Structure formats: C-alpha cells, structure tokens
C-alpha cells in the first residue's frame, strides 16, 4: 500500500507528457500552451486615437480652427495638422507618432468647416505605438492553460495556430452484473450506473474525451475482449479493483500487457486503486463505489491527465473549516466539502458523507478536504475543483 504522496510521485514518474499539436484558437481554448507566444509587432502596432474628436498640433489652445479633413480608422495616412487646422478623427484612427493632441468631440462645436475647441487639447487620448508591449516581448508563457483572455491576446499578435496539448483520448469500461443503465428502472437487486456519466463528465471537465464506453460482467475474458486493440491514451475500469472473488481488474490489466505500479492507496475513500502503464498508455482500476470514484478521479486520474497534457499541477489551498471538522482516520481522508469565500479567508463546509456509496451531497461539493490521521484543527488543505459558491 502506498501513501497519497507516494502515489502522486509514481503517477508523475510513469506518465509521459504527450507530444504537442498545432490547433486553431477555438480548439486551443482550455488546452495547455506548449510554446511561448511573443508579440509579432509593437502593441499597439501604430499610434492611434482612443476617442472620437479632433487632432490638432501639440500645444494648441482652445479657440477657432479650420476643419482640414478627416482620418478614418483603417486609413494609414497620418499627418500633423498645420497651425490653426484640425483633423476629424475617430476611435482607432491612425495618428502621427509625435506632434498631435486630441480634443474629444464633446468639447467642440462644428459649424461648416469652422470648429470651436472649448477645452485644452491633450495627449491623454493618444495610444502610442508599443505602449502595451514591444515586438518580441513574451506575452503568454508555455504551460499556461489557455483562458478566453489568453486566446484574445494570441489573436491580437497573430498566433492563430499555437502549439498546444493534444486532445486526450480515454476509454471507460464499467463492470458488474448488478449495474444497469441510468435510463432503466433497476430490477430488484440492481442499481443504476452513476459511474459512467460521472467519468464522462469529469473527463470532459479535464479536457479529455471519452471515445469508447462499454459495460461488462465480472468475466475477465469479456473485459479483455472489449479492450483489445485499444488505441487510447488512458483506460479507466470501474469496479472490481479490490481482491474479492469477482474483482478482476488486476487480471484484466495483466492480460492486456499492462505493468502495475500500485494496487492500494492509504486513502479514505478509495483504498483499492490500481495504477498501471503499457508503453505511453496509462490505466486506472477504480473502486466501484461512486464516492470512491469521485475522489480517486480528482486525486489521481486528474493528476495523470494533467501530466499527459503538460498542465501545471493544481495547488492545494488552505481553508478554514466551518462547524465540526471531519473525523480523522488511520488512512488519510479526503472529505467532500463546499468551499466558499469568507470575509478574510476561504471557508469550507464539510458535507454529510456516510460511506463510499453515498453521493447525496455531491451536487454541492466543489472541493475535497485533506484530513491527515492526526486530524485537523480548524485549518485544512483543500483540492478545489469547482466554482466557488456564495
Ligand atoms: P466493486 O468495486 O465492483 O466491488 O463495487 C463496489 C460497489 O460499487 C458495489 O456496491 C457496486 O454495486 C458499486 N458500483 C460498481 N459500479 C458502479 C457503477 N457504475 N455505478 C454505481 N455503483 C457502482
Ligand atoms: Mg463489482
């Protein structure tokens, strides 16, 4: 049996980062950038106006001016007006690098080609070339998970096919004769499949795709047949991860040629957990209980997915427990919680949890609290995975 920290080290050691691919910006959103992105030109690329109004020579005073023309956005000719002249300009109009100031339209009155300027012109609305970034400046670092904001920044500098982490392809096999599809009314003695929809949703959230799903009985040969010729990055098998007479996942992995790196983690819930690899492919045998599934995915499967993608590892944050702290156990416990912003710190409300099949509080959970065997005293480490609620 390995500790949680040992399991993380083994996963990091045995999981290789997948080769990067070039994708368009829409597909790149949410993926890990695998190259640095630099400005292809100064930003802004030319000096331009931030307002609708008039450009006059630097040092011009309020008074009457002759309207000598206009510079529309998209027109590259920018000249310094003569003394006594004004040029109509718009937000985004090109301006000469030096020598002009702007008066905004609200502070003027136009009568034919005679312009009255009522307020002192200013350089405040001149957006100078290179005032945001210089050509060659690094704007997005390799390793960044591409947010919509990063996508906009890359579009600005023409980085439209960045090198990013590839889509991770996973397959999922459910096991157990007592499990029926969630759309069915379970006959006596059977229960609905909650793990397959859970895994599909968690993979989607992690930027991976479940490209194949099947459900088989406890027959090892049936599982092996379903999984032969798998051409995916990750294999997840639900149920049968323990040592009972009908627990066949270890044998399934062995017959498929996977080498096992651990079969048990000292963690509650989720002790029986198999981690195995075959070349660059990784596999997890997850305990069938849905809460164990949930916790093992967040703690271990997600770590392997992040590693395959070359993503930064999610940090643990410190939270203040509200109410009674969850009880400690000789095995390190990861307790479902709802983390919310308190006045000065992040707070965590431990959610009711009775045993590993109990998912009644999971709709509210956005974090797991780490409860070491020595217990916690008000403060705990938390792995956050959802949005903060009020
Ligand atoms: P196992 O790991 O196969 O021994 O299963 C442990 C418990 O999890 C048993 O009570 C199973 O019925 C339950 N279980 C296994 N697979 C699923 C599933 N896909 N959905 C809901 N519960 C499951
Ligand atoms: Mg089973």
pLDDT 10s digits, 112-163:
999 999 999 999 999 999 999 999 999 999 999 999 999 999 999 999 999 9
Q: What is the mean pLDDT of residues 99-106?
A: 97
Query: End-to-end alpha-carbon separation of the chain, Å?
Result: 39
pLDDT digits 0-9 by tens, 284-294: 999 999 999 99
Q: What is the pLDDT of residue 386?
A: 84
Rounded to an integer, what is the distance from CA 14 to the centroid of its chain? 23
Q: What is the mean pLDDT of residues 274-283?
A: 97
Q: How far is it, in rounded angstroms, from Cα 97 to Cα 94?
A: 9
- The answer to whether 284 and 301 are in contact (CB under 8 A) is yes
Tally Cβ neighbours within 10 Å of residue 145. 17
Q: pLDDT band for position 86 (50/70/90)?
A: very high
Percent of the chain with pLDDT over 70: 100
Rounded to an integer, what is the distance from CA 26 to the centroid of its chain? 14
Q: What is the pLDDT of residue 7?
A: 98
Q: Which helix (H) or strand (E) holds 317?
A: strand 317-321
288 lines ligand 1 (CB under 6 A): yes
- Residues near 254 by beta carbon (within 8 Å), at least 6 away in sequence: 260
Answer yes or no: pTM beyond 0.85: yes
326 lines ligand 1 (CB under 6 A): no
150 CA to centre of ligand 1 in angstroms: 41
Report helix angle 4-14 to 302-309, nearest 10.
30
Most informative mutation of 252, 288, 360 for ligand 1 (most atoms within 8 A of CB) = 288
218 lines ligand 1 (CB under 6 A): no
214 CA to centre of ligand 2 in angstroms: 14
191 CA to centre of ligand 2 in angstroms: 12
Indicate whether 390 pLDDT > 80.
no
Indicate whether 366 pLDDT > 90.
yes
As beta bridge partners, residue 264 has 272
Q: Which residues of 260-287 are buried (b: 16+ CB within 10 A; e: fewer)?
A: ebbbbbbbbbbbbbbbbbeeebbbbbbb
Per the prediction, the chain carries an average pLDDT of 95
193 CA to centre of ligand 1 in angstroms: 8
What residue has token string 């006596």?
Answer: 188
Q: How far is it, in rounded angstroms, from Cα 236 to Cα 213?
A: 10
Q: What is the pLDDT of residue 32?
A: 97
Q: What is the mean pLDDT of residues 165-180?
A: 95
Q: How far is it, in rounded angstroms, from Cα 388 to Cα 41?
A: 38
Q: What is the mean pLDDT of residues 337-343?
A: 95
Indicate whether 109 pLDDT > 80.
yes
Would you call the peptide bond into 269 cis, given omega within 30 degrees of 0 as the criterion? Answer: yes
Q: pLDDT band for position 74 (50/70/90)?
A: very high
pLDDT digits 0-9 by tens, 209-244: 999 999 999 899 999 998 988 889 999 999 988 888
Kindly report the protein residue whose alpha carbon is nearest to atom 14 of ligand 1. 288
- Range in 8-22, 239-253, 373-387 the model is least confident about: 239-253
Q: What is the pLDDT of residue 229?
A: 82
């Amino acid at each position: 049996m390995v500790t949680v920290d040992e399991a993380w080290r083994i996963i990091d050691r045995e999981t290789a980062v997948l080769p990067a691919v070039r994708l368009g910006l829409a597909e790149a959103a949410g993926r890990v950038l695998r190259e640095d992105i630099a400005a292809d030109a100064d930003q802004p690329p030319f000096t331009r106006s931030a307002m609708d109004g008039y450009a006059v020579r630097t040092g011009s005073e309020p008074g009457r001016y002759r309207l000598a023309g206009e510079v529309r956005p998209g027109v590259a000719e920018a000249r310094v007006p003569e003394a006594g002249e004004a040029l109509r300009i718009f937000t985004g109009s090109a301006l000469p690098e030096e020598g002009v100031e702007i008066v905004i339209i609200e502070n003027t009155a136009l009568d034919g080609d005679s312009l009255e300027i009522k307020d002192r012109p200013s350089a405040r609305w001149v957006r100078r070339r290179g005032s945001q970034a210089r050509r060659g400046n690094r704007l997005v670092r390799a390793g960044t998970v591409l947010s919509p904001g990063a996508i906009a920044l890359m579009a600005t500098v023409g980085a439209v096919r960045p090198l990013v982490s590839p889509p991770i392809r996973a397959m999922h096999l459910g096991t157990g004769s007592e499990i029926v599809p969630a759309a069915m009314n379970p006959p006596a003695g059977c229960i609905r499949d909650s793990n397959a929809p859970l895994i599909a949703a968690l993979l989607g959230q992690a930027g991976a795709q479940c490209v194949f799903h099947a459900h088989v009985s406890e027959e090892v040969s049936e599982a092996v047949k379903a999984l032969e010729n798998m051409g995916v990055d990750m294999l997840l098998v639900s149920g049968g991860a323990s040592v009972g007479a009908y627990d066949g996942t270890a044998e399934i992995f062995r017959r498929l040629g996977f080498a096992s790196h651990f079969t048990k983690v000292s963690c509650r819930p989720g002790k029986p957990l198999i981690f195995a690899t075959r070349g660059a492919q990784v596999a997890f045998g997850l305990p069938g209980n849905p809460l164990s599934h949930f916790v093992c995915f967040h703690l271990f499967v997600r770590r392997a997915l992040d590693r395959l993608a070359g993503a930064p590892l999610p940090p643990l944050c410190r939270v203040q427990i509200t109410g009674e702290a969850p009880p400690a156990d000789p095995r390190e416990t990861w307790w479902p919680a709802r983390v919310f912003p308190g006045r000065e710190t992040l707070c965590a409300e431990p959610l009711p949890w009775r045993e590993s099949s109990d998912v009644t509080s999971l709709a509210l959970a956005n974090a797991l609290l780490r409860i070491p065997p020595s217990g916690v005293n008000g403060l705990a480490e938390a792995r956050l995975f959802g949005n903060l609620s009020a």
